[in-house]
Structure 1
């Protein structure tokens, strides 16, 4: 059986689910890059939770699009989510993940009230 032409990852989160974890140092260090944490530190508490929830949800969707779970070779902090010049989310891999020949990933993140959703699409390398 040939691999799928595309892999899609979807994750949805109620922001309240992340509220307690977002105050735990071990969770922050495991999940987010230093740059993401620096950005979050400059935000108000409400905006910080929104930002971290979006990044966490996006990383979950990315891992699903890669066919990997949280503990399957790619740590969430090795997934860096930035912005392109036009404001769209961009994905890059760092650390060990950078050496795994992972495919490019397209990403979309949406927020509505306390719900965050992210969709990631990757094209597996044959």
Structure 2
């Protein structure tokens, strides 16, 4: 099993999201269409969550944005219950096969101005495990990361100047 995590403040992407080239580089047409169906605040949160999920998956793949991989090759779609599901295309799919990753579980969590995404890359031998349990574990890890961020931010805010 391989793990990737990404945390960002929502405002980190605000300027980049105004640039059409960035949106085309990171998101698929389906992801952008779904995002545009929301109100402005929810669109911002949704796209930040998708970006964090793609970054977490790139970490699972062990490349980051490099070696011919781009975030757009990682589609984050919704399952029947609106939970995020990952679909890899092109070089991202080939990289997953190279390292033996046969499936991905991802969780995206939002808290205030922060978003965290955790991705687990499953190998064939991991598939015997309960997929629902893997999803629950990813969700707990994402929640714990957000709680730690909130705790540290609170401690930072309470420091004397």
- Category of TM-score, reference length = shorter chain: 0.7 to 0.9
Q: Does 1:19 align with 2:14?
A: yes
| Structure 2: unaligned runs, 5 residues or longer | 126-161
SS at match of 2:85: strand
**Residue 39 of structure 1: SS of its match in structure 2?**
helix
Alpha-carbon shift at residue 27 of structure 1 (Å): 0.5
In structure 2, the partner of 1:107 is 106
Calculate the aligned-residue CA RMSD, in Å: 1.8
TM-score, normalising length: structure 1: 0.87
Distance 1:64 1:98 in 2: 14
1:47-92 deviation digits (Å, cap 9, x = unpaired): 1110100000000001001111112232100101111223321001
TM-score of the pair, normalised by structure 2: 0.69
* Whole-Å separation in 1 of the counterparts to 2:82 and 2:13: 25
Determine the C-alpha separation between the residues in 2 that align with 1:15 and 1:122: 25
Gaps of 5+ in 1: 1-5
Q: CA deviation at 1:99?
A: 4.1
Task: Kindly state the Cα deviation for residue 125 of structure 1 after the two structures are TM-superposed.
Answer: 6.6
Looking at structure 1, the residues matched to 79 and 71 of structure 2 have their Cα atoms a distance apart, in angstroms, of: 20
1:44 matches 2:39:
yes
Equivalent pairs, count = 121
Structure 1 Cα separation of the partners of residues 6 and 94 of structure 2? 25
Q: For residues 6-26 of structure 1, give each alpha carbon's deviation from its aligned partner in whole angstroms, at most 9, with x where no partner exists.
A: 111010000011111111111
Greater gyration radius: 2
Pairing partner for 2:53 from 58, 62, 68: 58
Matched with 2:144 is none
Q: Offset of 1:97 from its aligned partner?
A: 2.9
More helix by share: 2
